[in-house]
Amino acid sequence: MADQFTNAPPPIITLTTDFGPSSRYVAAMKGVILSMNPQVRLVDLTHAIPPQDVRAGAIALAETVPFFPPDSIHLAVVDPGVGSGRRIIYARIGGQQFVAPDNGLLSRLAEREQPTKIVSVEDPRFWRATVSTTFHGRDVMAPVVARLSLGLVPDALGPPLEQLTKLAWPEVQRVANHIDGEVIEVDSFGNLITNVTRDMLADVPADESVTVTCDEHQTHGVFATYSDQPPMTLVAVIGSGDKLELAIVEENASKMLGVKAGAPVRVSW
Amino acid sequence: MADQFTNAPPPIITLTTDFGPSSRYVAAMKGVILSMNPQVRLVDLTHAIPPQDVRAGAIALAETVPFFPPDSIHLAVVDPGVGSGRRIIYARIGGQQFVAPDNGLLSRLAEREQPTKIVSVEDPRFWRATVSTTFHGRDVMAPVVARLSLGLVPDALGPPLEQLTKLAWPEVQRVANHIDGEVIEVDSFGNLITNVTRDMLADVPADESVTVTCDEHQTHGVFATYSDQPPMTLVAVIGSGDKLELAIVEENASKMLGVKAGAPVRVSW
Amino acid sequence: MADQFTNAPPPIITLTTDFGPSSRYVAAMKGVILSMNPQVRLVDLTHAIPPQDVRAGAIALAETVPFFPPDSIHLAVVDPGVGSGRRIIYARIGGQQFVAPDNGLLSRLAEREQPTKIVSVEDPRFWRATVSTTFHGRDVMAPVVARLSLGLVPDALGPPLEQLTKLAWPEVQRVANHIDGEVIEVDSFGNLITNVTRDMLADVPADESVTVTCDEHQTHGVFATYSDQPPMTLVAVIGSGDKLELAIVEENASKMLGVKAGAPVRVSW
């Protein structure tokens, strides 16, 4: 590759919001960041989080962040409590860095791996000179991630915290010959992603003696891939996030079945 | 930060269109630009402008461009008159650069700050060799912004102009103890952004003696932030663009109330 | 421009998927690529391909790729057969590089210009260590394009192939004084793009003696641009891709007429 890049690559800042695809609010945050660090690399993680759906944001982060290089900086804004007393936090989790409202958005990541640092973002010297009451993503978090990308030490942002806010996540129950979980996410194909992981199914038979039920819908067997079955078939597979998911081959399962996040799922054998 | 970047950072080109999120037409413009200047930094400002809605494009530009670094180049294509006699213009406004059809798209920016230069884009030497009649964004404007990013002097593009095309914007009327404005934009959360600015409300009482009416809907008080009120409440706040906006806490006000841009808004006290 | 860029510009990787705008699955692919080559330039070609619509993906690629610089690398994932026996291929076509499932996604490009190289992507050394059965875009194709951008020789990826999979595309028939084609794409404005090209119309009169019929809808004349006719008029133009298209001035023709891809189109004179 090109010789001029023998030094460190540009730092990565990803953006996760509920602002909707192609929102000008995202562009405003990018403008703020680029005004402070024109060399940073910006990557959209997703802006399709349903409005104010902190859980969906937490899942998107937890599922996607592990694919990014170490030390990437992730700015996440799903922030129904903006302007209220909720904190903004910096956290270091799994070798990566996060700036987000402390409303549980980072709690799914923090469940998997203990944060090695949590800081309460409080020092206004690192923010925009004027801070709106309704858009801390632009006025507080964007300048903070820009400064971090320029080398600011996280401890400068404010006092350390022991804990970040946690959300209660639905737990998977295993009793005798069945596992009870639920749909935790509907992806853009309408596939129903559950909280039942590959590991939980390790000793469950993979053949058609297994029944997967979701609401009143039922399918038999857990398959390796969608295309193992004919179109329009309801099929259970272990998806790319190592979780059981339900799909209708070449169709949108969520729309066809009317199933959304929160629907109960049972695996029995 | 990295040593190799001691020189000027890459020039920024933003893109604003009504092509819809993730349109291949946007990618074609990016390809044209990158073919001419592979070093430029491309930023999507928004592509979610409703089709042919020049006013919405003008607002998005005016609200977002100020967050970008000086000298950024902004390419904007909301162009219902493409192929007709409408001009394409280069303008320098507020220390930033713009290339757009001369249909009012830059007029909201130009209201706030007088353009310091306006040029009619006429010299085909700086365009693609073949120019379609329906996609000047790709065939005229994209190559022009690429050349500007490489250092082309704007005066080379064509003859100077005195004026750019202006749109008539709804004016806010203040009479005695009320202010009459209107909804000028619905954002991606469904919040109703009005043309009543923070400044206009400077001497208006902030307490519950103020009534804000929009169509037949009414709320009392102007709050600092959405979360000051319980979910499902209609609330008036000064939003992040320093404008009065109406929101329903944790819901989509535009959908719930059936209110769109153009709806009358009255603040009375 | 800046001095530090006297060497080669960063390689370009474009991404085309049916994952929907702003999908976290796209971000996962970008994370994988950036983890391997932090210097690459990523460009979204489009993610708005309708789910599993290989034809729409093939058209988007064929229409957009020519605007990108030579040697750009294009990763395309519209992959209903993921996890089945379908191959993944590398192809060199028209001076550009492609990695995609071998399901016809590259066949429209390959119709126009003979591939100069086709390789079956088979050597798992160049993939992620763990490959899911449902997301080869992330686990196989993303690492492969990252390695290509770092200089990997395509022949290393697997054995050469003679042919790539072709889709049958609807053919245009010309008989006496009419041309029969069809709508092959609906763009984001609702314009109906047909497979009748500018070349096919070269000797057809351009005046109002020409009738263009689509389903039961009819218009006269082929115009240079949409704005030649008043709003709400059905108009036929040669669009920016050098194809006949039908549009309703300032409206969405697909929605207003209920016409989709596949609808028959006749030009008669």
* DSSP-assigned letters across all residues of chain A: --GGG-SPPPPEEEEEESS-TT-HHHHHHHHHHHHH-TTPEEEEEES-SPTT-HHHHHHHHHHHGGGSPTT-EEEEE--TTTTSS--EEEEEETTEEEEEESSSTTHHHHHHS--SEEEE---GGGS-SS--SS-HIIIIIHHHHHHHHTT--GGGGS-B-S----PPPPPPEEETTEEEEEEEEE-TT--EEEEEETGGGTTS--STT-EEEETTEEEESEES-GGGS-TT-EEEEE-TTSEEEEEETTB-HHHHHT--TT-EEEEE-
Encode A235-261: b = buried (16+ Cβ within 10 Å), e = exposed.
bbbbbbbebbbbbbbbbbbbeebebeb
- B132 interfacial to chain C (CB closer than 8 Å): yes
Interface-testing mutation among B6, B64, B186, with chain A (most A C-beta atoms within 10 A): B64
Q: Do strands C211-214 and C217-220 pair parallel, antiparallel, or not at all (unpaired)? A: antiparallel
User: Which positions 18-37 of C are in contact with A (Cβ < 8 Å)?
Assistant: 19-25, 27-32, 34-35, 37
- A230 interfacial to chain B (CB closer than 8 Å): no
Q: Are B89 and B139 in contact (CB under 8 A)?
A: no
Which residue pairs, CB below 8 angstroms and at least 24 apart, start in A149-154? A149/A11, A149/A13, A149/A33, A149/A37, A149/A40, A149/A73, A149/B1, A150/A36, A150/A37, A150/B1, A151/B1, A152/A126, A154/A90, A154/A92, A154/A97, A154/A117, A154/A119
- C14 interfacial to chain B (CB closer than 8 Å): yes
Q: Do strands B178-186 and B264-268 pair parallel, antiparallel, or not at all (unpaired)? A: antiparallel
Interface-testing mutation among B39, B67, B232, B254, with chain A (most A C-beta atoms within 10 A): B67
The three state secondary structure string of chain B is CCHHHCCCCCCEEEEEECCCCCCHHHHHHHHHHHHHCCCCEEEEEECCCCCCCHHHHHHHHHHHHHHCCCCCEEEEECCCCCCCCCCEEEEEECCEEEEEECCCCCHHHHHHCCCCEEEECCCHHHCCCCCCCCCHHHHHHHHHHHHHHCCCCHHHHCCECCCCCCCCCCCCEEECCEEEEEEEEECCCCCEEEEEECHHHCCCCCCCCCEEEECCEEEECCECCHHHCCCCCEEEEECCCCEEEEEECCECHHHHHCCCCCCEEEEEC
Confidence check: pLDDT of C5 > 80:
no
Confidence check: pLDDT of C225 > 70:
yes
Q: Are B48 and B20 in contact (CB under 8 A)?
A: yes
Q: Are A60 and A108 in contact (CB under 8 A)?
A: no
Q: Do A8 and B22 touch (CB under 8 A)?
A: no
Taking the CA atoms of A124, A126, A130 and A136 in sequence, report the sign of the dihedral they define. negative
Please provide residue C233's backbone torsions phi and psi, each rounded to the nearest 5 degrees.
-90, 135
CA–CA gap between residue C72 and residue C98 (Å, rounded): 8
Question: CA of A42 to nearest chain B CA: how many angstroms apart?
Answer: 9
Query: Which chain C residue's Cα is nearest to A251?
Result: C51
Average pLDDT, chain B: 93
Question: CA of B210 to nearest chain C CA: how many angstroms apart?
Answer: 40
Query: Which chain A residue's Cα is nearest to C6?
Result: A4
Please provide residue C15's backbone torsions phi and psi, each rounded to the nearest 5 degrees.
-125, 130
Question: CA of C131 to nearest chain A CA: how many angstroms apart?
Answer: 9
Of B12, B48, B237, the CB nearest to A34: B12
- Residues in C touching A9 (Cβ below 8 Å): 38-39
Q: Which chains, if any, share at least 3 CB pairs under 8 A with chain C?
A: A, B
- A188 interfacial to chain B (CB closer than 8 Å): no
Confidence check: pLDDT of B3 > 60:
no
Query: What's the confidence (pLDDT) of residue B224?
Result: 84
Whole-number Cα distances in Å, B163 to B56, B90, B122, C130: 21, 11, 16, 61
Q: Do strands C41-46 and C12-17 pair parallel, antiparallel, or not at all (unpaired)? A: parallel
Q: What angle do CA A69, A72, A75 make, to 5 degrees?
A: 140
Positions in chain A short of pLDDT 50: 1-6
pLDDT in tens, C145-194: 999 999 999 999 999 999 999 999 999 999 989 999 999 999 989 999 99
Query: What's the confidence (pLDDT) of residue C7?
Result: 60
Confidence check: pLDDT of B239 > 60:
yes
Q: Do C133 and A45 touch (CB under 8 A)?
A: no
Q: Which residue has the tokens 């592979």?
A: B38
Whole-number Cα distances in Å, A250 to A247, A255, B52: 8, 12, 34
Residues 6+ apart with CB under 8 A from B243: B193, B194, B195, B196, B197, B198
Q: Do A134 and B9 touch (CB under 8 A)?
A: no
pLDDT in tens, A238-248: 999 999 999 99
Comparing C-alpha atoms, which of C113, C115, C111, C32 is closest to residue C75? Answer: C32
Query: Which chain B residue's Cα is nearest to A3?
Result: B4
Confidence check: pLDDT of B143 > 90:
yes
Of B1, B67, B228, the CB nearest to A150: B1
Query: Which chain C residue's Cα is nearest to A70?
Result: C35
User: Which positions 145-164 of A are in contact with B (Cβ < 8 Å)?
Assistant: 149-151
**Hey, what are C247's tokens?**
């549009």
| CA B113 to chain centroid | 14
**What value does the CA radius of gyration of chain A take, rounded to a whole number of Å?**
21
Q: Do B239 and A138 touch (CB under 8 A)?
A: no
Residues 6+ apart with CB under 8 A from B216: none
Question: CA of B122 to nearest chain A CA: how many angstroms apart?
Answer: 30
Please provide residue A204's backbone torsions phi and psi, each rounded to the nearest 5 degrees.
-90, 135
- Residues in A touching C6 (Cβ below 8 Å): 4
CA–CA gap between residue A22 and residue B104 (Å, rounded): 22
Q: Are C140 and C129 in contact (CB under 8 A)?
A: no
Q: Which chains, if any, share at least 3 CB pairs under 8 A with chain A?
A: B, C
Residues 6+ apart with CB under 8 A from C153: none
pLDDT in tens, B209-231: 999 999 999 999 998 888 778 88
Inter-chain contacts counted by CB atoms under 8 A, chains A and B: 120
**Hey, what are B59's tokens?**
């607002």
Percent of chain B topping pLDDT 90: 86
pLDDT in tens, B75-125: 999 999 888 889 999 999 999 999 999 999 999 999 999 999 999 999 999
Q: Which chains, if any, share at least 3 CB pairs under 8 A with chain B?
A: A, C
pLDDT-derived band of residue C29, with 50, 70 and 90 as boundaries? very high
Q: Do C2 and B9 touch (CB under 8 A)?
A: yes
- Residues in B touching C224 (Cβ below 8 Å): 83, 133
Query: Which chain C residue's Cα is nearest to B26?
Result: C45
Inter-chain contacts counted by CB atoms under 8 A, chains A and C: 120
Q: Which residue has the tokens 């979980």?
A: A181
- A63 interfacial to chain C (CB closer than 8 Å): yes
Question: CA of B44 to nearest chain A CA: how many angstroms apart?
Answer: 7
Whole-number Cα distances in Å, B31 to B27, B51, B60, C45, C78: 6, 22, 24, 9, 21
- C134 interfacial to chain A (CB closer than 8 Å): yes
pTM: 0.95
Name beta bridge partners: A99. A75, A90
Q: Which residue has the tokens 């010299």?
A: B123
- B175 interfacial to chain A (CB closer than 8 Å): no
Q: Which residue has the tokens 């006949």?
A: C244
Residues 6+ apart with CB under 8 A from C88: C99, C100, C101, C102, C120, C121, C136, C140, C141, C144
Amino acid sitting at position A193? I
Q: Do A23 and B48 touch (CB under 8 A)?
A: yes
pLDDT-derived band of residue C85, with 50, 70 and 90 as boundaries? confident
Query: Which chain B residue's Cα is nearest to A8?
Result: B2
- Residues in A touching B225 (Cβ below 8 Å): 82-84, 133-134
Half-sphere exposure of A85 toward its Cβ, with a 13 Å CA cutoff? 0
Amino acid sitting at position C256? M
How large is the angle between the packed helices A24-36 and A142-149, nearest 10 degrees?
40
- B262 interfacial to chain C (CB closer than 8 Å): no
